[in-house]
Chain A
Amino acid sequence: MNSMLGGYGALDLTDWRGWLCGRVLADMGVEVTKVEPPGGDPDRMREPFYHGEAQPEKSLWWWAYNQGKKSITLDIEIPTGAEVLRSLVKKTDFFIENFPPGHLDALGLGHATLQSLNPSLIWVSITPFGQDGPYRDYRATDIVTMALGGFMSVTGEPGRAPLRLSFPVSHSLASLQAALGAMVAFHHRQATEEGQFVDTSAQESVATALLNALPMWDINRVMIERSGRFRSGLSSGVKQRQMWACKDGEVAFMVLGGLGGAQSNRALVKWMEAEGMGNNMLSSMEWDQFDMATASREFHSQAEEAIGRFFMAHTKQELHQGAVDRGIWLQPVSIPKDIAESAHLAARDFWAKVPHPEVGEDIIYPGPFFKSTATPIQVGHRAPLVGEHNQEVYREVLGLGDGDLEDLKQKGVI
């Protein structure tokens, strides 16, 4: 089967915060080899686990982001191990890591060394703040980069603490930015054979995801405030509801302007009227003339009252289906079960069954992140067991024999 990047290889030395980068390359056909310390990557113990069983082969984090990769064990912290890694680097295309800046240099595995062994090597680094600058050595988990990257100041309820998502989005963003950087560098390499260093900052990755918050300050000196289920930063200084309660959950909907907004608003108002829940002000609106920037507080509060009452009279499913049928800009606030049961995703044959022989069942995974006429993503095999591919990689790639392997094992290198 054709793939975009079949025939290329990557060494992945990241911990859980960087796994997603290599996962994306693996989806596109790169043979990604996870290099784990002997005994396995410590983040294999990251919960949640399959059936709650806290074992290194059952972390769902591990499964999710290492699908399609191979695994070898190697202690790069000792000289013999570092030497083995240098041999592997000569035969790979991408080298992905998220150690603190300087850590690999101290092991004789710095960029200059590896690049001289393989001038075409694309080195992909993911760190909280980048390889240089005053915060270079600062420590960070997701909440720290979400804070310093600006996302938290604008997320959460007014009067309460700023919020991150209860999911480490800054790691996702940084890993994807790193994968994009790897691809840009790869494109250059294919034309010139020159490798290079891709220095990715999680803080900067978060900063780019702030929609209009930076230009609002930069151009108008308007500070967007945390508004919970509302949206602030509109020119008229009012807040507009975007998350609504319904009979059995929540939905997301905004009264918006423009041609699309007008169609959506009209369709909702017509639906409300048809069910005898119309509102005079909404029914008499000239939606084509509607301008978000000048809509008054009075408008928003009346609209909110009428629309809110209508939503409360319906279930999430009714509102979702009604919005699809009528072309209304409304979506349910999905919980995982809703996503799993989506008729739309099922019709697109999105979900992938991945065999997990060790637990005796197939597990359902999100499917390919794009569809293609020429190079469809082949859903990868389940994430590797600790050192599952030691024999294959060390024999075939490095050409080591039984004696060498036994020797490395004895010395605790693999």
Chain B
Amino acid sequence: MGRLVFEGLKVLDFTWVAAGPILTQSLADHGAMVVRVESATRPDILRMAPPYKDKKAGIDRSGYFARFNTDKYGVSLNLNHPRAGSVIRRLVDWCDVAVENFTPGSLKHWGWDYEELRKLKPDIIMLSTSNQGQTGPHSHHPGHGGILTSLAGFSQLTGWEDQEACQPFGALTDFITPLLGTIALIGALEFRRRTGEGQYLDLSQYESSLLTLTPVMLDWFANGHQATRMGNRSPHAAPHGAYPCQGEDKWCVVAVESEQEWLALCRALGQPFLTDDPRFTSLDKRMQNQDALDLIITDWTSQRTPQEAMDILQKIGVPAGAVQDPAEMLEDIQLKHRRHFKVLEHPEIGPQHYENPPFHLSRTPAELRMPSPCVGQHNEYIYREVLGMPDEEFVELLVDGVLV
């Protein structure tokens, strides 16, 4: 393996839960030394969330936490302890970049906001990310990605037109905003390289997620039109939906945007004469007669497995895809070919499938090397070897309950 891109970059990671840890994970998987500062006195919520190894709860047993913390070092430090300051000072002195995602104001409460960090290290790059940014009347409103996804407009765009909104699975904003955060950090590193200057970045998860929804917001501001959910239908394609296949809860999606694809679909269905059916002779007409169209396709898909339906349609040039559940994802031939998953062995959890970045770099690919850290797993290494803390002090801080 060659040199990893961020080898030598030192990241002080005060983040927790999802958006923050995902943001620093890309740096870690590409070689940065990311030190996650945690405390067993207030553990990361995801350490207390299933799945646990053997379904037995334990602070180092959650595969949920593990997923977002590959290749990071873990140290424990009780920020509420009066002697935590001397440790933080050393960590700040050591790092290039500091990242945190506490509720705004929390770090200041402990005495460690950007102004303080900057006094110790004038060229430090610091990024704070929170649900709604560091300022403004709602900045202190606590929350998490699961509900921010609703505030930011994604839930309203999910569901059937005849039903209430439905939650897009998980916490979508937690997978949009960290990408933009890491992008901004790398930009800040470039700026520092050129000018020697550090900076402070305020990444609002609400605002950064809205970047992706710009077309929807323009439609409101320019046209007064409220985009809303429409099931699986699309204003740009028909047929467009998920169709039932052989088996229980098995589905294949089909999307037809062009006339060429429509002709191909009719051939695949074994009904070439459909192209002459007056209900379907243009995209507009197919849109108007989607219910009838859906029945015809359902008739065909329900005699096949999702994989068969997809392969037949794709071979003839029709966009189609099996709806895959997590078990099928792990067996997906494309993801296997792409080595999307990599199994790492965690001391408590055992083997787990972790994911490589979805962007493959030809010269300097990411390399998943370490599973997520146990709480305080690297205390000795980081505090004594990396920071050079004298033995007596290290032991004293341990005994005094600072390093927990």
Which 7 pairs, one residue from A and one from B, show the smallest C-beta to C-beta distance?
A181-B359, A211-B170, A4-B187, A204-B358, A374-B199, A133-B337, A215-B63
What residues on B are CB-neighbors of A149 within 8 Å? 324, 329
Q: Name the segment of A101-109, A218-226, A303-311, A393-401 touching the other chain.
A: A218-226
Interface class of chain B by DSSP: mixed
Q: Is the Cβ of B186 less than 8 Å from the Cβ of A184?
A: yes
Q: Taking each of B147, B154, B206, B229, which has the highest tally of chain A beta carbons within 10 Å of its own beta carbon? A: B147
Given A147-B253, A243-B155: A340 touches B220 (CB 8 Å cut-off): yes
Q: Is the Cβ of B215 less than 8 Å from the Cβ of A177?
A: no
Q: Indicate whether B212 reaches chain A with its CB closer than 8 angstroms.
A: yes
Question: Complex: how many Å from CA A220 to CA B215?
Answer: 40
Name A359's closest neighbour in chain B (CB-CB). B222
Interface residues on A, range: 35 or more
Q: Name the segment of B70-78, B174-182, B268-276, B382-390 touching the other chain.
A: B174-182
Proximity bits, A148-191, B CB within 8 Å = 1, else 0 = 11111111110011111111010011101111110111111010
Which of A60, A218, A366 lies in contact with B219, CB distance below 8 A? Answer: A60
Name A231's closest neighbour in chain B (CB-CB). B167
What residues on B are CB-neighbors of A33 within 8 Å? none
Given A133-B334, A201-B358, A260-B45: A327 touches B190 (CB 8 Å cut-off): no
Q: Indicate whether A41 reaches chain B with its CB closer than 8 angstroms.
A: no
Name B227's closest neighbour in chain A (CB-CB). A336
State the Cβ distance, B227 to closest chain A Cβ, in Å.
6
Q: Is the Cβ of A152 less than 8 Å from the Cβ of B323?
A: yes
Q: Indicate whether B255 reaches chain A with its CB closer than 8 angstroms.
A: yes
What residues on A are CB-neighbors of B152 within 8 Å? 334, 339
Q: Name the segment of B80-88, B156-164, B373-381 touching the other chain.
A: B156-164
Interface class of chain A by DSSP: mixed
Interface residues on B, range: 35 or more
Q: Is the Cβ of B317 less than 8 Å from the Cβ of A139?
A: yes
Question: Complex: how many Å from CA A146 to CA B321?
Answer: 9
Query: Which chain B residues numbered 195 to 240 have a C-beta less than 8 Å away from chain A?
Result: 195, 197-204, 206-208, 210-223, 225-237, 240
Q: Is the Cβ of A143 less than 8 Å from the Cβ of B240?
A: yes
Q: Indicate whether A50 reaches chain B with its CB closer than 8 angstroms.
A: yes
Question: Complex: how many Å from CA A332 to CA B127?
Answer: 27
Name B349's closest neighbour in chain A (CB-CB). A219
Question: Complex: how many Å from CA A140 to CA B189?
Answer: 36
Query: Which chain A residues numbered 348 to 371 have a C-beta less than 8 Å away from chain B?
Result: 348, 350, 363-371
What residues on B are CB-neighbors of A4 within 8 Å? 184, 187-188, 190-191
Q: Taking each of A180, A198, A212, which has the highest tally of chain B beta carbons within 10 Å of its own beta carbon? A: A212
Proximity bits, A242-275, B CB within 8 Å = 1, else 0 = 1101000011111011111001100000000000
Name B27's closest neighbour in chain A (CB-CB). A184
Q: Name the segment of B52-60, B92-100, B285-293, B395-403 touching the other chain.
A: B52-60
Name B48's closest neighbour in chain A (CB-CB). A258
Q: Is the Cβ of A370 less than 8 Å from the Cβ of B184?
A: yes
Proximity bits, A120-156, B CB within 8 Å = 1, else 0 = 0000000001101111001111111111111111111
Q: Is the Cβ of A365 less than 8 Å from the Cβ of B219?
A: no
What residues on B are CB-neighbors of A375 within 8 Å? 187-188, 191, 199
Question: Complex: how many Å from CA A207 to CA B326?
Answer: 9
Q: Indicate whether B142 reaches chain A with its CB closer than 8 angstroms.
A: yes
Question: Complex: how many Å from CA A215 to CA B349?
Answer: 11
Q: Indicate whether B318 reaches chain A with its CB closer than 8 angstroms.
A: yes
Q: Is the Cβ of B180 less than 8 Å from the Cβ of A370?
A: yes
Q: Is the Cβ of A366 less than 8 Å from the Cβ of B158?
A: no
State the Cβ distance, B7 to closest chain A Cβ, in Å.
10
Q: Is the Cβ of A24 less than 8 Å from the Cβ of B253?
A: no
Q: Is the Cβ of A204 less than 8 Å from the Cβ of B335?
A: yes
Q: Is the Cβ of A185 less than 8 Å from the Cβ of B364?
A: yes
Q: Indicate whether A196 reaches chain B with its CB closer than 8 angstroms.
A: yes
Q: Indicate whether B360 reaches chain A with its CB closer than 8 angstroms.
A: yes
Q: Taking each of B132, B134, B174, B184, which has the highest tally of chain A beta carbons within 10 Å of its own beta carbon? A: B184
What residues on A are CB-neighbors of B355 within 8 Å? 204, 207-208, 214
Question: Complex: how many Å from CA A256 to CA B133?
Answer: 23
Given A167-B213, A331-B150: A153 touches B359 (CB 8 Å cut-off): no
Q: Is the Cβ of A134 less than 8 Å from the Cβ of B147?
A: no
Name B181's closest neighbour in chain A (CB-CB). A370
Q: Is the Cβ of B353 less than 8 Å from the Cβ of A144?
A: no
